[in-house]
Structure formats: C-alpha cells, structure tokens
Structure 1
C-alpha cells in the first residue's frame, strides 16, 4: 500500500531512529569509543537483574569461585617471593662462608665494617642455611606455587562455565519473550518501524547483552577483587612503596581519560562513515542492473571513493589517537616502576626488604593498573549494554493487540457472509481515512475493490482480518461481530494471495504445505496443478524437493506468485483475499490462473483488490473507492454505463480501445 494513507501508516508512531549495534565485545574494544547511554539506567538495570532471579545460586557460585580464583592469583607472587628469598639467602651465606674460608684479611676487614643490621642478617642466613642453597625448600615452594596456579585455573574454569550457562539461559529467556511479544504485536507496530530496527533489537542488542553477561561481568568482578587484593598485598610488603604507586594513579587515569575523550569524536565520525559506506554499497549492489543500464558506474565509483576517503581519514585518526593511549599508559606506569626499583634497590641493599619481596611488589605494581583499566572500560560497556537492554524492553513494553474477550469463540463451518456496518477508521487521529462504510456481501459473492493508490482498498482487508482495530462501527461474518471471534480462528477462515510474494528458505513442497497443516503430498500436487504450477515445478532438478534460497531468487517472480496461489488453494478457505494476485505473471499464465481462480472462488466469498481492471470484469460486485469512501458500486457493465469514476479509470488503461 502506498500513497497518502501509506504515508499515514509510517508516520502515526514516531521512530526512535536507533538501530542498535553489536557493541564492544571486550574491555579493550571500548577504549576511546563513544558510549551509548540508557535514558533510564537504574530502572533498566533493575529490570535486567530480574532475569537473574532464577539463577541466584549460580550467581553466588560465580562470586565465590571468582573470589577464590582471584585470591590464588594474587597470593602467587608473594609465595614465589619466599623461594627467591630462600635462594638469595643460600647464595649470600655460601659466598660469605667461602670468603671466610679463604683466609683473606681484606675480606675479614670488610666484614668487620659491616653495619649491625647486615652482620645480623649475614649471621642469620649462615645459621639458617649452613652455607647451602635449600633446593628442597625451593622445590616445595614451587610445588605449592604450581598448585596455586592450577587451583586458580580450575576456579576460573568453573566460574566461566557457570556464568556461561547463566548468560545463555538469561538471553534464551529474553529472546523467547521478545519473540512471543512480536507475535502479539499489532500490524501497526511493524508498519511504524523499519525491518532493520526491529531485527537489530532482536539480534544485535540481545547479542551485546549476551556478550556482556558472559565476558564483561566476570571480568568486572575479578578486576574489582584484584584491585583490592593488590593494594592489600602491596601494603603488606611496603606501605611507602604502595603510596608511590597510588600517587602515579591519578596521572595515569587522567592521561587515559584525556586521550579517550579526544578519540571519541574520531570514532563517532568513523561509525558515521561506515554507515554511509555500507548504505551506498548495499544500494549499488542491490540495484546494480539499474546502475549499469543507466551508465552510472563512474558516478557510483566516485561516490564510493569519496565516502571511502572520509572513512580513511576518520579511521586512521581514531586508531592513531586511541593507539597513543597504551604508550602513554606504559610511560606513566614506567615512571612508577623506576621509582619503585630505585627505592626498592636501596632498601634491599640496606636489608630493609628482601629481594623476593621487592620482586613480588614490582609484580603487583605492574599488574595493578590493568584491572583499573578493565574496570573503567567495562563500566562503559555496561552503559552500552543497558542501552541495548532498554531498547529490547521497549519492544516488550509495546502495546499489544487487544486480547480476545472471554466470550470469543470459533465459527464452526463458516459460510463466508460478510457485513460492514458504518465502519470508521483512521491511522492518525486528525486524519480520517475510512468514514461510515457499509457493505453486505453474501456467501459466494466475488467483490472487487478498485480505486487509485491510497484510496483505502488494502485497509479494508486489514480491518477484516483485525490487523487493525476499527475506530467505529462493526464488521460481521455470518452475523457474528469479528471482535467476538478468536483471532486465530478468524484469520483461519481466510486465504490470501498478495502482490508481494513471501516464500521461506525451504523446499517447494514445504512452501505450498504452509497453507494447511498436515497436508499430504497428493493434496500439494493437486493444489499446484490447480494453480498451473505443477509443470514448471517438475522441470526443476529436484521437483517438489527443490530448495528455495533465502530470497527465493532461484525461481522467477511469476513462479513465486504461482506457488503462493497454490498455497492459498491448498488452504481451502471460506473467504479469499486476492491483492493483485496475478500482477507478476505473464498474460498467458494470467488467463490460466483466472480460470483456476474462477473454479476456486466458486461457492466462496472473494475480495479482489486490483489495479488492472481487466482482471475483475467477472466480479459480481465492484466497489470503487476514493479517499476512504465507496463512491460507486455495481458490476462491470453497470459501472461503465454510468460513465463515472470507474469509466474514467477503465478508459485510462485502454486508451486505444476507449469504451463509449
């Protein structure tokens, strides 16, 4: 449907203009990128957390295992420090005893000038080690260290395994809720949203939530625990060195934030250029025949190059500026590293710290900044994820079709009598479309609806099927108001063949059988023959088992239409709706289909929407619509005799054979 009233359908509910996105998949990917924020972060987060309620035990298990895994990872450098200290003590004692045994008076004099602390240390290590390296103790420590790393890996594995289950189950529930919701939404929702926007919310946004739950959430937990653990372990080794690390932190965070802010505008420009490039490529390749036919290849390439150059310019700036971040972070980190090494080296020389302790501290200080970066980046990812969740929840909050009333029933053996009683409808409150239409159709009548684009022809069919709700009046089938009939039962009375063919990825047999559940192969073949599709189907390599691809481009447009007609014939409905059903077939096939349709429509009520007036000459009643009203009514000859609106429409299509 197009024209004014089609425009109403696409305007009556404003679009958000958002198409969603896949979002970053890991903490590093969020660096410098624009962060999409939710309008109601707190409310959306609470609602998302509700999906976790059935998995409380699993979440607690994840937290416990994350705590143990992180703890083992954090204590490992402290344990390895014991082995280093033992090795250092053994070597020092061995060298001291060796020098003493040599009897060199210079060495004895040098030892005599040692400070009391160093003499005490030297005597202690000699007494403890006996001048030997205790390899058995070192081996014992290494075994413990190995066990710690193995346990940490096991706890991490279990944590990730449990969290993966929680994430996938949560997303499974969310996808199911969205799919169920889409099945309950009225047609007006789909008319007011682009297909890309709906698909983005169902796929990209939910995938982003899944990725965040499975990866970023566990990383956030472990990063916070690591920050706390590293600070505690550094304080236990040296409070002063810990202060040095913390003093460099603001400089580190400030420089990171500065670069991230600068790079955001370039990433935003890059995303804009990517969108334009994708749109241009899709347009050109979808309509490549038209491009070639009109000789616009050069203009197409020039525009591609223009957009591509813009993408190159924005892309290299985004990557360059964001790439500065890590060298800058390393520079700031190395400043702290140098201070720690200098001060730590002095303290080791003065026996205020052991070599193993300073080694462990350096390990902690070098690792300390990474969980801080991860936490900051994951916070950005969570912001984007909550924005994605908000878009998903917007779908779940959409107004559904008015539910069937408790008294709604099913018509047994419907006859197909249809009556419109003063029906009123408008897509927009301030723009009327159908006003006060009344019509009575008897069983077996064929009703053709004609008129210019936007006259309201397809809207009448939409109201008949309750795709839209009337603003006033009533539509009755066999004397029963359609609002008192269950929707599924109501729509089951109709068979439809539309101008826009719809076939799914599957065999031809499955596509025809879509019209009736449990149809036998014999019934399918009979329907195909009635639609004059059997012959071309049997000429295909696999016959009825030929698989149609995703867009059904491996058969012609006319053949697609024949299959949809066969599907409608198989459904054997009480009422037929044919919306330009033969518009995509050749003249010869159209004649054959018209004969098949005549047989099919016999004894059934039929509504035929047509622009080609030659196809509706045999209709019992022709309704001529304009601006949402029935302005003429009668059969073909009667309407021509009146020389009114229908007369003008008919003659405009047959100017060479004008009817007088």
Structure 2
C-alpha cells in the first residue's frame, strides 16, 4: 500500500499484544522509586478517607442520641482532619506523578528521535513528514499519563476496592451483597464493547495522522498555494480530513461514554436498593439507621473506584492505539547501518570504484544495472543525463544512503558496506540542490558539520565560496539569526551558506548535486575561482544542469539506460557527436534564444 499520501490510512504492521505493554514497563521501571512513594501516599490518603463513614456511623448512632456536644465537636474535628490530611497527601502525590509523567515522555521521545536519525532515506521517502512528527509529539503525550498515573491509579483503585469491601462486610454482610449485585452487569458491558472500542481509537489515530500530514504539507508549501490561488481548494481538502477525524472521534467517544454511563446508573440503582432493603426489608433490630447511612456512603465509595477503573480502561484503550504506532516506529529496521564487524575507514585518498553495481528503490525495478567505473584520487567527474536516469542515485550510493541491490562500491580498496558509516561520511562533503538552513545564526549553520571549527576558519570558508560579502552586509553579520529553512535569505544565499558548510568539513570526496543551480552567473564565475583551488587533490562528483559549468571536468559521464552510456572529456564527447553532443548543443541553442 502506498503510505506516502496524507489521505491514506496507515495499516499497522504488527497488532498490539502484551509484549508492547512489557516494553512500556521498561520506561516505568526507571521511575520505580518515586512511583512507589506516590503509591504509599495514595494508599495513606485513601485509608484515612475511608474512616469518614465509620465516624459518621458512630456520630449518628451514639453521639447524637446521647446529646454529647463535646464529643460531637471532637468527632467533627477528626472528620475535618481526615479530609485535610487526605488532600495534602493527594497533592504531594500529584506533584510527584507530574514529574514522573514528564520523565517518561522525555525517555520515549528521546528514544524515538535517536531511532529516527538512524533510519535510512527510504523510510522518509515512503511517508509524509506529518505522519512521523505526530508520533513523536502527540502520541507520546497521549500515553504518558497512562504509563505513569495510570499504573499507580490502577493498583490504588484495586486496593481501594479491597479496603472498601472489608469495611463494608465489617459493617453489614447482607447490604454488602446488595452493593456487589451490579458487578456482573458491568463486566458484561465491558466485554461487549472491548474490541469495538479499540478499533474505534485506532481509526481516530489514522485520521489524526492524515490530518497532521496534510497540515504539515500545506504549511511547507504555503508559498506555492498562494501563487496558484489554491486556498479554497485546499480548505476543502482540509475540511474533509478534519470531518473524517471528527466523525471517528465522536464514534470512539460514544464507546467511552457508555462505560461511565453504565457505572453511574448501576451505582444509583444499588444505592437506592440499599435504602429500600435497609428500611423496608430489614427490621430496625437488624440494622440501625447509622448502618444504613454508612453502607450508603460505602456504596458510593465502592462504585467510585469502579468508575475510576473504567475511565482508566478507556485511557488504556486510547493509549494502546498510540503505543502501537510508537513501537511500530521504534521497530522500523535500520537497514543502512554498521555491520557487526565494521571497521573504521582510514584517511582516504579518494579512489572510488563501482564494481557491477545494481540498485533498485523498489524490488524488481532497477535504476542502475551492472554499473562499473573507476575514479582516481583528485579526479573531477561530471554526471549528466535526462531527469530520472540515476545521477543523484549514483552519488547517494557513494555515501551509502541506500544499500546496494548487487555489486560493490570501493573507496581506496575498502568496501563501503564493511566500514563504519560515520568514518565514511565524515570524509565526504555533500552539497544538494535543496539547501537546508537550520534556525540559528549564520555562523552556527556554517559550523554545523564541524563543531570544532574556529571563527577564522568559518570566515575563510565563506570567503572561498563568495558568501562573506553578502553576510557582512547584514547588521549582525555572521551572528545574524535566520529562520528554519532560511526564509529571510534568497535561494542563492542559502546555497552559498550551505556550500561554506560543506567545504568547512575539508572532505576528501566532494559531491555537488545541482549545487549552483540557484546562483546567478556572475556569482557562479566568482565561486568557480575558489572551487578550482578547492577541488585540487580532492575527488569530486558534480551534477549540474548548466553543462557549461562542467566543461573543465576530467571526465563527463552520460547516465542513461541504467548505466553509463558515454564517458570522456568535454572535447572527446563533442567529437563523438552522440548523446552528450546533442544535449549540449540543444542547451546552447536555448541560451542563444
């Protein structure tokens, strides 16, 4: 199924089972000590609160009939004290669990982010960014309370039920069975809706993910939207997605609301039955009015934990839908990673060899087949050819952003699949057409790939790529703050900053993928002067739309038909009057027009 669209639901590849919950317990165990303290405080608070009905029974049956005013004041003060102490303990416990919940959020979110950084390009090729972001932010927020307060409250409510049952049976056995009579009905309702409720929240998760994906896409492309006046059409799409989310949300809430509705009505019926049985079926000799009042209070208290448990169950069902997504992301295989016996790649000279390389993004659809060539250290190689022929694929494979389908790639005789990724990529400089600028200063953006670089080295790199002049025109110079994606900068300025960032890393292999496409001809000529010096002694692979910029490369490879159709210098290929000749001639004619 195509998962890279905002309007297609994501099917879970592995259904939730008890193993997911056991994995969630790993995060809970890290907070074991504060959770135990919170449980003890909760138990004390609940135990103290349970003494209130016994005080009420004694006051009604003994203190008031005896007209003992002093005792009444004392018992009232004790009742107030139980309330105050119970509230104080509950408040302390609440503060502890708030911290625990945030710590659990931090741990899960950190693990997710770490894993996402290790996933290969293909994972991001197949999914909208919005469907990834919602898992790291919204879904983690949704499960944190269940994994912290939910566990404590679940145990506490069970203990509460046990304590209340003990108190009830100690006061009156017959009326206790009246209170318990509603349990079979409650359990039947729970079993009836369990599966439907879980599926309903899975549907909510899907629609929420779709809505978030389209929102993220729309914000990223807002400029294109306004250029083509697509606001009304996009609003219609958003309204449809939001409506789908609303419908699924309301359907899920109906299942959620059914449980407290059942509990509330059962509690009311049971409490009414206590008064009917106590006052009409039993004689005053068998049961006093104080006992009936106490049992009525215990009935409300007995069904309150059941109501709380049902709410916890609702929260758990909701969280299950999100936990499934979270663990599905954490289980996504890191297909491009260090092999068990991977070795450090030593300092390289830049000899790159493709040995019968075959590659396919999708099984059975090869982009490259049995591609072989050898590049000597310091050679400059230009890759040209029609769109989609595989030029960018070739340079992506050199950096091992994807695993090969067949064959091997060697650098200085080392198979890149057998070396550590960090040692490989740290010796490469890659400059893409889409120059990504991070929020922060221009200085930080250039330093991004080499954190130990001095300010002098950063400025030197900027001067080499002709970026220093326009940077100094800003009021804050290199300390100028730029927004995410560099919205305050022109496309050419973003590319020059990205160029400086790449060159600062002092790579042995330099990859330029349409790196000068957004730079004007004058700036490009100045930039070329610095690059000519920089490329000396470095192996470089250059993909350029303007063929005039790669005329001086040592070799030009025309990529076509899943391989290299032509290879040679500019003069050699022009003399052959083949594919490159026709492409160059056509482009030259367009420029003249």
TM range (shorter): 0.7 to 0.9
The answer on 1:525 being equivalent to 2:525 is no
Q: 1:270 to 1:70 in 2, by over 3 A?
A: same
- Mapping of 1:485-634 within 5 angstroms? 485-634=419-568
Q: 1:280 to 1:500 in 2, by over 3 A?
A: closer
Unaligned runs of 5+ in 1: 1-6, 21-36, 91-132
The answer on 1:403 being equivalent to 2:338 is yes
Measured against aligned partners, the alpha-carbon deviations of 1:257-305 in whole angstroms (never above 9, x if no partner) come to: 8899999999888887777766666666554554444445555556666
Give the CA deviation at 1:607: 0.6
The answer on 1:80 being equivalent to 2:56 is yes
The answer on 1:427 being equivalent to 2:366 is no
Measured against aligned partners, the alpha-carbon deviations of 1:563-597 in whole angstroms (never above 9, x if no partner) come to: 10111122221221101101223333333323332
Quote the residue 2:47 is aligned against: 71
Quote the residue 1:26 is aligned against: none
Give the CA deviation at 1:346: 5.1
Task: Measure, in 2, the Cα distance between the counterparts of 1:170 and 1:331.
Answer: 36
Task: Measure, in 2, the Cα distance between the counterparts of 1:298 and 1:434.
Answer: 42
Q: Do the aligned partners of 2:390 and 2:562 also contact (CA within 8 Å) in 1? A: yes
Task: Measure, in 2, the Cα distance between the counterparts of 1:538 and 1:174.
Answer: 43
Instruction: Please say which of residues 194-203 and 527-536 is displaced more in the overlay.
Output: 194-203
Task: Measure, in 1, the Cα distance between the counterparts of 2:198 and 2:105.
Answer: 30
Task: Measure, in 2, the Cα distance between the counterparts of 1:393 and 1:272.
Answer: 15
Give the CA deviation at 1:508: 0.8
Give the CA deviation at 1:631: 0.8
Q: Do the aligned partners of 2:349 and 2:412 also contact (CA within 8 Å) in 1? A: yes
The answer on 1:463 being equivalent to 2:439 is no
SS in 2 for 1:578: strand
SS in 2 for 1:467: coil
The answer on 1:452 being equivalent to 2:428 is no
Quote the residue 1:199 is aligned against: 133
Quote the residue 1:216 is aligned against: 150
Q: Do the aligned partners of 1:507 and 1:546 also contact (CA within 8 Å) in 2? A: yes
Give the CA deviation at 1:142: 3.3
Measured against aligned partners, the alpha-carbon deviations of 1:93-121 in whole angstroms (never above 9, x if no partner) come to: xxxxxxxxxxxxxxxxxxxxxxxxxxxxx
> Taking structure 2 as the reference length, what is the TM-score of the superposition?
0.85
Quote the residue 2:315 is aligned against: 381
Unaligned runs of 5+ in 2: none
Give the CA deviation at 1:630: 0.6
Quote the residue 1:107 is aligned against: none
Task: Measure, in 1, the Cα distance between the counterparts of 2:245 and 2:129.
Answer: 26
Quote the residue 2:371 is aligned against: 437
Quote the residue 1:123 is aligned against: none
Give the CA deviation at 1:521: 1.3
Q: 1:349 to 1:136 in 2, by over 3 A?
A: farther
Instruction: Please say which of residues 634-643 and 257-266 is displaced more in the overlay.
Output: 257-266
Task: Measure, in 1, the Cα distance between the counterparts of 2:284 and 2:359.
Answer: 92
- Mapping of 1:85-100 within 5 angstroms? 85-90=61-66
Task: Measure, in 1, the Cα distance between the counterparts of 2:508 and 2:199.
Answer: 60
Quote the residue 1:142 is aligned against: 76
Quote the residue 1:112 is aligned against: none
Give the CA deviation at 1:165: 5.5
Task: Measure, in 1, the Cα distance between the counterparts of 2:249 and 2:363.
Answer: 46
Give the CA deviation at 1:544: 1.2
Give the CA deviation at 1:214: 2.1
Which of the residues 344, 351, 354 maps onto 1:417? 351
Give the CA deviation at 1:75: 2.6
- Mapping of 1:32-111 within 5 angstroms? 39-53=15-29, 60-90=36-66
RMSD: 4.0
Give the CA deviation at 1:522: 1.5
Q: 1:192 to 1:352 in 2, by over 3 A?
A: same
Q: Do the aligned partners of 1:531 and 1:565 also contact (CA within 8 Å) in 2? A: yes
Give the CA deviation at 1:602: 2.5
Q: Do the aligned partners of 2:131 and 2:212 also contact (CA within 8 Å) in 1? A: no
Task: Measure, in 2, the Cα distance between the counterparts of 1:657 and 1:50.
Answer: 64
Instruction: Please say which of residues 423-432 and 557-566 is displaced more in the overlay.
Output: 423-432
Q: Do the aligned partners of 2:210 and 2:241 also contact (CA within 8 Å) in 1? A: yes
Give the CA deviation at 1:235: 2.7
Q: Do the aligned partners of 1:38 and 1:383 also contact (CA within 8 Å) in 2? A: no
Task: Measure, in 2, the Cα distance between the counterparts of 1:81 and 1:200.
Answer: 53
Give the CA deviation at 1:332: 4.8
The answer on 1:645 being equivalent to 2:579 is yes
Q: Which has the larger radius of gyration?
A: 1
Higher relative contact order, structure no. (Cα contacts within 8 Å, ≥ 6 residues apart): 1
Q: Do the aligned partners of 1:19 and 1:197 also contact (CA within 8 Å) in 2? A: no
The answer on 1:353 being equivalent to 2:292 is no
Give the CA deviation at 1:633: 0.3
Task: Measure, in 1, the Cα distance between the counterparts of 2:119 and 2:205.
Answer: 32
Task: Measure, in 1, the Cα distance between the counterparts of 2:277 and 2:564.
Answer: 94
SS in 1 for 2:364: coil
Q: Do the aligned partners of 1:51 and 1:170 also contact (CA within 8 Å) in 2? A: yes
SS in 2 for 1:424: strand
Task: Measure, in 1, the Cα distance between the counterparts of 2:230 and 2:33.
Answer: 63
Measured against aligned partners, the alpha-carbon deviations of 1:108-165 in whole angstroms (never above 9, x if no partner) come to: xxxxxxxxxxxxxxxxxxxxxxxxx223323333344344344434554555455556
Give the CA deviation at 1:368: 2.7
Q: 1:217 to 1:312 in 2, by over 3 A?
A: closer
